[in-house]
Each structure stands twice: as C-alpha cells, then as structure tokens.
C-alpha cells in the first residue's frame, strides 16, 4: 500500500516536471507544441541495443534517458545562446520526464523490465 502511494507521488512529480518543460517550451520560448509529440518517440530508438543483449540495451537506453545529456546541452545553451540546442534539450527533458511519469526508469542490465523505478510490464510486482 505504502509503496503504491509512493510510486503515484513520484509519477505525479515527473508529470508536473514534463508539464513545466512543455509550458516553458511553448510559452516562454515559443517553439511549436506539435514537435513535443512528433519527436517524443525518437529517443526510444536507443532501445535497439536490446536486440544485441540486455547489457548493451541498458547502456544505450540509459545514455539516452539520463538527465546528464540535456543538462550538458542546457549548459552549452547558456554560454552560446543557440536556439537549436535549447530546442533539443527541452524535447529531451520532456521525453525523460514523460517516460518517468509513465513508470519507465533507467534500466538495470538484467532486463528491460527492471528499472530504477521498479519493475514494469507483465511481470510487475
């Protein structure tokens, strides 16, 4: 019971973070909203590593779904003020927060279903 409540709280926090990134992206910066939807699945291409094995799959997926990448891009944007870098960074953040709101976390090397947020899929515990 307690664990379920905590998962819902964490999911809600990530949903709010995704909504804030989307609001900033659309209202403050003025980028077109539809790119958030069109480009959302692009980062999931990183899961192709699972065709090789779970270790490679987790590595590629985690690189694409870690907050480190968009944080580095945002830092670069601060220094060079390039709108393309900001665009990619915000899309990337939106994707990560959206995935985490849905329960998809960083992957363990044991399988795609084992994440830092818990087990996902049919074998959910």
Whether 123 has a pLDDT exceeding 60, the answer reads no
pLDDT tens digits for 30-82? 999 999 999 999 999 998 998 999 899 999 999 999 999 999 999 999 999 99
Kindly report the pTM of this predicted structure: 0.88
In angstroms, the CA 60 to CA 63 distance is: 5
pLDDT tens digits for 86-116? 999 999 999 999 999 998 878 777 766 656 6
Question: Count of CB atoms within 10 A of residue 96's CB?
Answer: 24
Residue 89: its pLDDT value, please?
97
Q: Are 61 and 46 in contact (CB under 8 A)?
A: yes
Residue 7: its pLDDT value, please?
86
Whether 3 has a pLDDT exceeding 80, the answer reads no
Residue 66: its pLDDT value, please?
95
Whether 28 has a pLDDT exceeding 90, the answer reads yes
Q: In which element (H, E) is residue 118 found?
A: strand 118-119
């Amino acid at each position: 019971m307690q664990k379920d409540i905590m998962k819902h709280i964490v999911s809600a926090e990530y949903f709010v973070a995704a909504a804030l990134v989307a609001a900033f992206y659309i209202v403050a910066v003025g980028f077109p909203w539809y790119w958030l939807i069109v480009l959302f699945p692009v980062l999931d291409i990183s899961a192709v590593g699972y065709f090789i094995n779970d270790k490679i799959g987790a590595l590629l997926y985690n690189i694409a779904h870690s907050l480190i990448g968009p944080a580095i891009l945002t830092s670069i944007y601060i220094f060079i003020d390039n709108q393309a870098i900001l665009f990619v960074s915000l899309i990337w953040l939106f994707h990560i927060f959206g995935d985490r709101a849905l329960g998809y976390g960083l992957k363990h090397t044991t399988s795609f279903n084992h994440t830092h947020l818990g087990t996902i899929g049919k074998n959910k515990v």
